[in-house]
Amino acid sequence: MRVAVIGGGPGGLYAAALLKRDAPEREITLWERNAPEDTFGFGVVLSDETLGGIEDADPEVYAALRREFVRWDAIDIVHRGRRLRSGGHGFAALGRRRLLEILHERCRGLGVGLRFRTEAPPAAELARDHDLVIAADGVHSRTRAAHADHFRPSVTTHRCRYIWLSADLALDAFRFEIAGTPHGVMQLHGYPYAPGASTVIVEMREEVWLRAGFDRLSEGETLDACGAVFSDVLRGAPLRSNRSAWTAFRTVVNERWSYGRTVLIGDAAHTAHFSIGSGTKLAVEDALSLAGQVTEHHDIPAALAAYEAERRPLVASTQRAARASLEWFEELAMRRDQPPRRFAFDLLTRSRRVTHDNLRLRDAEFVAAVEEEAGIPPGTPPMFTPFRLRGLTLRNRVVVSSMDMYSAVDGVPGDFHLVHLGARALGGAGLVMTEMVCVSERGRITPGCTGLYAPGHETAWRRITDFVHGPVVPAGTAIGVQIGHSGRKGSTKFMWEGIDQPLEEGNWPVVGPSAVPYRAGVNQVPHALSRAELRTIREEFAASAASAARAGFDLLELHCGHGYLLSSFISPLTNRRDDAYGGDLGHRLAYPLEVFDAVRDAWPADRPMTVRISATDWADGGVTADDAVVVARAFAEHGADAVDVSTGQVVPDERPAFGRSYQTPFAERIRREAGVPVIAVGLISSWDDVNSLILAGRADLCAVGRPHLYDPHWTLHAAADQEYTGPGVQWPAPYRAGSRKPPAGRRG
């Protein structure tokens, strides 16, 4: 086998070494256009997981690395002159130049041909006489660019500028230092990588960088200016540059990683922001996987397919975490006013990989100090602290999210709804929400949707609220109703028969702000509502709210998200009106706010009212996160007690960035910028996630959906898992005998 490697970074070198070691008869040649001693950046951080893979695959390289490592386990966060330390993390780093030297030595010892100061031939040319071409040519990959029509790359440039420097001092922790300057917030990421040497990365928003004049400074002036800002941490040590230049981070994603005999690895295939230290880690792990698959499969196409199948999910997970971390630093300015320990906790958990529970395992004293600062009683998980909305005090921060059940007959909730909602009320959550209850027959999504538009509806709902407020369910459990109108997304089949698919018979006409169908040629073209029809629908909302109050609900939520009627007024993708209800965001908000006001007037003054919004359409030209802050602020000014922050489902061609707690950044931004309590929702699946979000100040309440379908007593079991028995959750008297988790099995 003949193998060509383009690029002499850690990924390319290690792939070459492993392939040669596994089969010495392979002819492997690596091209690197720079000299062997040339490198960019300074230190490299490797995780214990990556090191374990290296140790298993190549003990010789591992032994050489181990002799060079600088190890530490603390993270320091310095904000407004105060340093807070969290321990127990575990890091290993070494100089990037030394890492390359070790890999050079290993490659030479194995017989890999290294061609430095030599531009590699194009991948297409190499593929003609090589069995495998490995493109490890970095974030600016020429190979990726040359075959972009096949790899289909997406490159996103982000909003911060950063520069990679070094200082002649040995930090004793991974250090995050936040500096407030007349130009704006700047941050330093620093860590040791050799005795007497530390990496120093200085980062700031683009507009701060411009105001500070860094775009006009020479290299020496840049070093002096950065040194002055962070003089406390540098303690007089000069900053050094290695052809360093200010740049903006680029996230690289490719739809495909291989093309014929050519395969991308490392930054050529994917990038992850330096704030989680995963660039070299990913490249080395790519090399480990690729070499293993080539040796196992022999057939190159099969090996490349197996490599991508193995690595893609892991890389995607890392990129999601890196994106969350990157965005945390991009929006650092809005977090500056937090109490110091909460700020530190927020920073440490920014990627959603470090959580309340595993941070407590690493440094229980640190987490206890954060909880004390937040006023959380000792021994109380953050999720089990109370929260007040107007005249309603919720026992804990868990909400059973609104989930459509499509199981009503003529809008009437029946025995199923009593059992479904009653079981969740028994399950310990502070607030149980109904599905979207429709304000009219034509406002239903499906024939199975519940309603509040006929006399029998109110009576049926009263049966359910009476049960929740009755003697069996622990006192203090609240039940809320979500009301809405389907708009252009109505007259469709049950979810399990085809989401958003029109009924085959029995259709009713749908309406919207404009005559724009949900799916052209599939769904009905909605009737564009007249002023008179809008007044009628507004009155239907108000009548439903009054009915909900008589039915005994504790809280009402107005559904202004997910592309239903009120949401479709807000989005420019669905609202094409040219009257007072169309045009700019203020005009598009006018009708939803009119409905909100009518509902607020019909709803008792002492009971809270929330509103659910889609904080982004996940589509070009649609509602953005900036818009969402404006929308939330407007509803808050009209009397909303909290905003339930969801996203998307407005247009079918959306491109959501799914992932763990993926919608919470939108909620956090609204909470901080609009100054209104928020309910976070969206793949919040564990009690650890809830604790983390609440303690970090990203949300006030957490709506948990699918886990409550899996386990109606999810909240009670979360208390049992955490050995919590305080006032934040109560077991129903008939269930108390089961309040201890049963043993999984017996040992002989």
Exposed, middle or buried, 532 (CB in 10 Å: 0-12/13-18/19+)? exposed
What is the block-wise mean pLDDT of the chain (748 residues), using blocks of 10 residues?
A: 96 96 96 86 81 85 90 93 92 92 96 96 97 96 97 96 95 94 96 94 97 96 96 93 92 96 97 88 94 93 97 94 94 91 95 92 95 95 97 97 95 97 97 98 96 96 97 94 97 89 92 96 95 98 98 98 97 97 98 98 98 97 96 98 97 89 93 96 93 96 96 96 94 89 65
Phi and psi at 438, nearest 5°, equal -85, 145
Residue of 110, 117, 275, 247 whose CA lies nearest to 189: 275
pLDDT of residue 259: 95
Determine the Cα–Cα distance for residues 694 and 95; give it in Å rounded to an integer.
38
Determine the Cα–Cα distance for residues 418 and 408; give it in Å rounded to an integer.
11
Exposed, middle or buried, 337 (CB in 10 Å: 0-12/13-18/19+)? exposed
Check 162, 191, 564, 581 and give the catalytic one. Answer: 564
Determine the Cα–Cα distance for residues 420 and 228; give it in Å rounded to an integer.
62
pLDDT of residue 201: 96
Report the b/e string of 654-675 with b at 16+ CB within 10 A.
Answer: beeeebbbbbbbbbbbbbbbbe
Determine the Cα–Cα distance for residues 308 and 264; give it in Å rounded to an integer.
10
pLDDT of residue 748: 46
Q: What is the pTM of this model?
A: 0.92
Calculate the CA 631 to chain-centre distance.
21
Q: Could you report how far apart the first and last alpha carbons of the chain are, in Å?
A: 54
Say whether 191 is catalytic: no
- Tokens found for residue 170: 């040995």
pLDDT of residue 746: 57
- Between CA 614 and CA 616, with CA 615 as vertex, the angle to 5 degrees is 90
- Which helix (H) or strand (E) segment is 83 a member of? strand 82-86
**Helix (H/G/I), strand (E/B), else coil: 683:** coil
Tokens 């002055």 map to which residue? 228
- Tokens found for residue 636: 């808050």
Determine the Cα–Cα distance for residues 6 and 16; give it in Å rounded to an integer.
10
**Helix (H/G/I), strand (E/B), else coil: 663:** coil
Determine the Cα–Cα distance for residues 272 and 266; give it in Å rounded to an integer.
10
